[in-house]
Structure 1
Amino acid sequence: MNKIGIIIRREYTTRVAKKSFIIMTFLSPLLFAALIMVPLWLSGIKDNESKKIAVVDFTNEYGKVLKSDKQYVFVPVQERVQNIGNSQLKKDFYAVLLIKGDLVRDSTAATLYSEKQVGIELESTVSRQLSEYVENKKLDAYHVANIKQMVEKARTKIDVTTIKLDEKGNSKVTSSIVATIIGGLSTFLIYMFIFMYGVQVMRGVVEEKTNRIVEVIISSVKPFELMMGKIIGIALVGLTQFLLWIVLTLIISNIAGFALFGTSISNLQAGAQLQGASTSGAQQAMMTVFQGLQGINLVEIVSYFIFYFLGGYLLYASLFAAVGSAVDNETDTQQFMMPITIPILFAFYAAIYSIENPDGPLAFWCSLIPFTSPIVMMVRLPFDVPLWEKLLSVGLLVITFIGTTWLAGKIYRTGILMYGKKPSWKEMWKWLRYKN
Structure 2
Amino acid sequence: MDKKTINWAGFSKKTPKERAIFLERLDLSADSVATLEQEKLLPLDIANQMVENVVTRQALPFSVVPDVLVDGKVYQVPFVTEEPSVVAAASFASKIIKRSGGFKTHQDKRQMIGQVALYDVDNKAQATRAILAKREELLNLANSAYPSIVKRGGGACELIVEEKGDFLIVYLSVDTKEAMGANMVNTMMEALVPTLEALSGGKSLMAILSNYATQSLVTSTCQIPLRYLSRKPDEAEQLAHKMALASQLAQVDPYRASTHNKGIFNGIDAVVLATGNDWRAIEAAGHTYASRKGSYQGLSTWSYNSSTKMLEGTLTLPTPIATKGGSIGLNPSTRLAHDLLGQPKATTLAAIITSIGLAQNFAALKALTSTGIQAGHMKLQAKSLALLAGAAESEVAPLVKELIKQPTMNLAVAKQLLEHVRQAD
TM-score tier by shorter-chain length is under 0.3
Larger relative helix fraction? 1
- TM-score, normalized by length of structure 1? 0.21
Larger relative strand fraction? 2
- TM-score, normalized by length of structure 2? 0.21
